[in-house]
Structure 1
Amino acid sequence: MTPFVFLAVLAAAAMHATWNALVKVRSDRFASITLTSLGMTLSAAPVLPFVDVPTANVWPWIVASVIIHIGYRLFLIRAYDHGDLAQTYPLARGTAPLITAIGGVFLLSEVPSGLAVVGILLLSLGTLLMSLRGGGHLATLNRAAVGYALTTSLCIASYTLVDGSGVRLATTAASYAAWLFVCDGLCAIAIGVFYRGRKLLAVSAADWASGIVAGFLSAAAYAIAMWAMTRAPIASVASLRETSILFAMLISVLALGEKMTGWRGAAALSIVAGVIALRMG
């Protein structure tokens, strides 16, 4: 992975943590994440005239990704409804590289090196510390939040492998990303209107600015990640992208007023060490 790709993925990680924080602080997270999807669509739609239409062999990957992303958003909302950002976000994002690496071995024949395996273990340890002891006491663990977060991580790993494979077949990463975002956003908006109707429109009218910003950040972050997957191994990009966990922890403490504990500090160090090892591996 070149230094430019490395820095680009780090920037994408910061963007990803930021848009998740914007969703977390809203009381109606279903409406917020639906509005974020609208923002992604509005960000990608102007790009369509300037990129190729995906070929027939690319569309199945886009369709699969849209379906998985629908599940991802629904489980993410449920996780945020039941737990703190600093607990649910690390578990959802941090366990995804482990699942992605395993999937990469069997589906893409991308076998991690010994150092990469060490990184995966450190990252997994860090996420467990962050989720199980991040709030201070094991007894306060919200099992529902952890369950939803783990299901979200499975969705993340799935769409990462799907999009990593699909974007490599597309003529350009911009083409794949733009069409994916438009299709995914339209589906998310249709689902939102179907379930909420006018109530969704009323909430969206009040929070449209933050939703558009979150959507732009989400689109930019994932577009960069998909582009990076055409330049580096999928597992490496996925793991480096999870430095967003650390950005999310900083946001949760500094902006959202969530508690910083020694366990969270230890978990952060383990995650950093794991990400470094994964990149070096």
Structure 2
Amino acid sequence: MFNVAILLVIGSGFLHSVWNLYTKRSINKNVFLWFCQLVAVFVFLPWTIVQWEGVHILSTGGWIIVASMLLHGLYVILLAKTYSIGDLSQVYPIMRGTSPLLVPLLGVTLLNEKLSVLGWIGVLFIVIGIVLISNITFNRTESSTLRVPLLALAVGVCIASYIVVDKVALSYYPAVVINEATNIGNLFVLSWATFNSKAIRTELRVNWRIILLGGIIAPASYLLFLYAASLAPLAQLAPMREIGTVFGTIMGIFILREKQGRRRLITSILITTGVILLGIWG
């Protein structure tokens, strides 16, 4: 089952990098993400209804699902803001790099999971590789330089937090129910910015095909991860999902034509090495 979990996590990382690429290339990030959440709610609603039998919201699990919705909502707001002012090649590695650092610590301390010495070395390799690929520079003449990585860091903290909460939520609800709840929450928190943007028609006219695709692959990527988390320890799987950073780097080089291709590919190899160490000997 662990091998299946690994494949699910790799697929999750790839899909996640794809929809983040779409988000970065969108015109208005709030509007684009709002439409993606709307599509996701309708697409996954029938499956959620099928899985609803036996679900009890008014219990301890109800508070957990509320916490998940709040964390996902904060995440999507910060994500829209981060991509509005930052480059994909800079902020994506920071956002994804924070999670491998925090989630194993939370998984070990709160969920009684364990990592071997090689597993922790793998986590270290992943984090070092992502820091190097971020290429953060602090230019005193640009006041927004520090703001961008700090926003990306905040997104990463949200990711680490909701992953742990959702792992606990899996003890109460099917993965698709958790996913649908967060889709609805995200739709709600993005509504104010979306309806006040005056960019709804433009975004829909230009990107309606990508919105339909993004509305499917964004929640699908996280569903894959949730199902993987039900098969194997979170402390091992969460860092492995950050292989999506490698996919994002390749997309940045060949699709967005970003610079420093060789340097970023080398650091991607370091990340992959960490993933292998974590996956096999973690």
Structure 1 residues 17 and 275, CA, compared in 2 at 3 Å: closer, same or farther?
Answer: same
Residue 205 (structure 1) aligns with: 204
**Distance in 1 separating the partners of 2:195 and 2:154:** 24
**CA distance in structure 1 between the partners assigned to 2:195 and 2:172 by the alignment:** 33
Pairs aligned (count):
274
> Normalized against structure 2, the TM-score is what?
0.89
> For residue 79 of structure 2, what is the aligned residue in structure 1?
76
Q: 1:190 aligns to what?
A: 191
**Shift in Å, 1:228:** 0.9
Letter matched to residue 176 of structure 1: I
Matched residues in 2 for 1:154 and 1:229: separation?
A: 19
What corresponds to 2:96 in structure 1? Answer: 93
Contact 2:77/2:190 (<8 A) preserved? no
Is structure 2 residue 168 aligned with structure 1 residue 165? yes
Runs of 5+ consecutive residues of structure 2 not aligned to the other structure: none
Question: Could you tell me whether the CA contact under 8 Å between 1:43 and 1:219 is conserved in 2?
Answer: no
Paired with 1:261 and 1:205, the residues of 2 have a C-alpha distance of 33
Structure 2 counterpart of 1:43, which letter? V
Amino acid at match of 1:132: N
Question: What is the alpha-carbon distance in structure 2 between the residues aligned to residue 161 and residue 87 of structure 1?
Answer: 25
What letter corresponds to residue 256 of structure 2 in structure 1?
A: L
Contact 1:40 1:185 in 2 (8 A): no
Question: 1:194 deviation in Å?
Answer: 5.2
Residue 106 (str. 1) matches residue 116 (str. 2): no
Q: Measure, in 1, the Cα distance between the counterparts of 2:221 and 2:108.
A: 25
The CA RMSD measured in Å over matched residues stands at 2.1
Aligned to 2:135: 132
Aligned-partner SS, 2:277 = helix
Q: Which SS does the other structure have where 1:109 is aligned?
A: coil
Aligned to 1:17: 17
Q: Letter of the aligned partner of 1:101 in structure 2? A: P
Residues 122 and 274 of structure 1 are in contact (CA less than 8 Å); yes or no, is this contact kept in structure 2? Answer: yes
Q: CA deviation at 1:92?
A: 0.3
Q: What are structure 1's unaligned runs of at least 5 residues?
A: none
Q: CA deviation at 1:235?
A: 1.9
Checking the alignment, whether the CA contact within 8 Å between 2:27 and 2:203 is kept in structure 1 is: no
* Residue 39 (structure 1) shift: 2.1
The structure-2 alpha-carbon separation of the partners of 1:128 and 1:100, relative to structure 1 and needing over 3 Å to count, comes to same
Aligned to 1:228: 228
1:99 Cα deviation after fit: 0.7
Worse overlay, 99-108 or 215-224? 99-108
Report the identity percentage: 27
2: distance between equivalents of 1:269 and 1:126? 8
1:257 deviation in Å? 1.6
1:11 CA drift (Å): 1.2
Distance (Å, rounded) in 1 between the aligned partners of 2:133 and 2:255: 18
- The answer to which of 258-267 and 150-159 deviates more is 258-267
Shift of 1:77: 2.1
What is the alpha-carbon distance in structure 2 between the residues aligned to residue 19 and residue 158 of structure 1?
21
Number of the residue aligned with 1:255: 255
TM-score, with normalisation over the residues of structure 1?
A: 0.89
Q: CA contact under 8 A between 2:250 and 2:265: conserved in structure 1?
A: no
* Contact 1:35/1:215 (<8 A) preserved: yes
